């Protein structure tokens, strides 16, 4: 996808097949750190990082997305941070790392939470699950597509330049469906805003 022809790219772009996306996700994989800033003021991390209150303070984290929330997963919750007087805002997504789980249900609400974090002064959001590979990465990719206007391929390349990630097969398919929906919306809006095209 070279974006040399701005508007043409939008009209011609088609969501890549899963095999191509897996190539992007799997090539040159290396062991990730416990946390990585994958986009300005957006960090993906494992669970241990999310529980290290001193590290969170040192990193300047103001918002937390727990993509593995709930009693049977990583049960921190908002109280874990408010009781520690860290003033961190919390958003929990109770998602198992299962290909059959509908994580797309949380794309919009989580993307809005992340957007609120990164657009406020000195805001920084940490998005985590157990290992920072599948659930948290899926939600960050969705944010980059919804609010930053990236295609799924572009979002994967952006995040992969900082961290190795691998959404499970079901999550990857849901991201493909989101990519298709957003592409259709962009094509529709560009068609209506281009005076040279018939209305």
Q: Which domain holds residue 125?
A: 16-189
Asked whether residue 22 is domain-assigned, the answer is yes
Residues taking part in catalysis: 129
Q: How confident is the model at residue 9 (pLDDT cuts 50, 70, 90)?
A: low
Give every CB contact of residue 167 below 8 A, 6+ residues apart in sequence: 25, 134, 135, 137, 138, 141, 175
Structural domain contains residue 5: no
Structural domain includes residue 120: yes
**Cα 178 from Cα 183, distance rounded (Å):** 8
Residue 9 within any structural domain of the chain:
no
Alpha-carbon span 25 to 78, nearest angstrom: 32
pLDDT tier for residue 180 given thresholds of 50, 70 and 90: very high
User: What is the reported pLDDT for 3?
Assistant: 40
Asked if residue 194 has pLDDT above 80, the reply is no
CATH of the domain at 130: 3.90.190.10
Please count the CA atoms within 13 angstroms of the CA of 27 that sit on its side-chain side: 9
In a domain, 1, yes or no: no
Residue 48 inside a domain? The answer is yes
User: For residue 11, is it within any domain?
Assistant: no
Q: What is the pLDDT of residues 84-101, one digit of tens each?
A: 667 899 999 999 999 999
Task: Give me the number of domains the chain comprises.
Answer: 1
Q: Is residue 196 part of a domain?
A: no
């Amino acid at each position: 996808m070279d974006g040399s022809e701005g508007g043409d790219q939008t009209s011609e772009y088609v969501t890549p097949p899963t095999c191509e996306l897996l190539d992007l996700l799997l090539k040159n994989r290396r062991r990730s750190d416990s946390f990585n800033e994958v986009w300005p003021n957006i960090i993906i991390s494992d669970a241990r990082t999310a529980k290290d209150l001193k590290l969170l303070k040192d990193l300047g984290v103001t918002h937390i997305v727990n993509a593995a929330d709930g009693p049977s997963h990583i049960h921190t919750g908002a109280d874990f941070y408010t009781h520690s007087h860290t003033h961190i805002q919390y958003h929990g997504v109770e998602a198992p790392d299962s290909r059959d789980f509908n994580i797309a249900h949380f794309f919009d609400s989580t993307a809005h939470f992340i957007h609120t974090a990164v657009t406020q002064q000195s805001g920084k959001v940490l998005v985590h699950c157990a290992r920072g590979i599948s659930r948290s990465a899926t939600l960050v990719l969705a944010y980059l597509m919804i609010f930053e206007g990236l295609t799924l391929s572009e979002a994967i390349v952006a995040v992969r330049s900082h961290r190795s990630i691998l959404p499970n097969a079901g999550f990857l398919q849901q991201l493909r469906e989101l990519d298709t929906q957003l592409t259709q919306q962009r094509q529709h809006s560009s068609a209506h805003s281009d005076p040279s095209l018939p209305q």
